[in-house]
């Protein structure tokens, strides 16, 4: 079984700063997917970014980028030019080769607070 660990329960930064959220995972699979989801106070889970393990290039989506270190089983999320609307819970998640049939394995989450 795979595990996902987020070691930062809460982080707080000033608006416009850059922040990095950490995530490590453990798996014996060679092909898998990693995700960062955002859950604002509305509780709606929103996909922020996705990384396929077989791709060496780090995924980027506008102000969001990841640092994927497959050998180290590390998958951190960098948010540049942080905005007040980025305040939310952020969950790192793993999906194995079976895709949706196996479900997502989530970390415990990091509560990110962007201060004005």
Partner 1 sequence: KAGVTQTPRYLIKTRGQQVTLSCSPISGHRSVSWYQQTPGQGLQFLFEYFSETQRNKGNFPGRFSGRQFSNSRSEMNVSTLELGDSALYLCASSPWTASNEQFFGPGTRLTVL
- Radius of gyration of the chain from its Cα atoms, rounded to whole angstroms: 14
Please report which helix (H) or strand (E) contains residue 28, including its range.
Answer: none
Pattern 18-37, partner 1, x by CB under 8 A: ---------------x---x
Q: Any idea which residue has 């996705």 for tokens?
A: 50
- Longest alpha-carbon distance in the chain: 42
Size of the site for partner 1 (CB under 8 A): 25
Site membership for partner 1, residue 110 (CB under 8 A): no
The Cβ of residue 40 has, within 10 Å, a number of other Cβ atoms equal to 13
> Quick one: which segment of 7-15, 18-26, 47-55, 62-70 binds partner 1 (CB under 8 A)?
47-55
Q: Which residues bind partner 1 (CB under 8 A)?
A: 33, 37, 42-47, 50, 52, 91, 93, 95, 98-109
């Amino acid at each position: 079984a795979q595990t996902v660990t987020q070691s930062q329960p809460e982080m707080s930064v000033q608006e416009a700063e850059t922040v990095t959220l950490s995530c490590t995972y453990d798996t014996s699979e060679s092909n898998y997917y990693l995700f960062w989801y955002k859950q604002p106070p509305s509780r709606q889970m929103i996909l922020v970014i996705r990384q396929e393990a077989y791709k060496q290039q780090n995924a980027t989506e506008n102000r969001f980028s990841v640092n994927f270190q497959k050998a180290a089983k590390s998958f951190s999320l960098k948010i540049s030019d942080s905005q007040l609307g980025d305040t939310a819970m952020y969950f790192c998640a793993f999906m194995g080769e079976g895709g949706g049939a196996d479900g997502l394995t989530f970390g415990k989450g990091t509560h990110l607070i962007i201060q004005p």
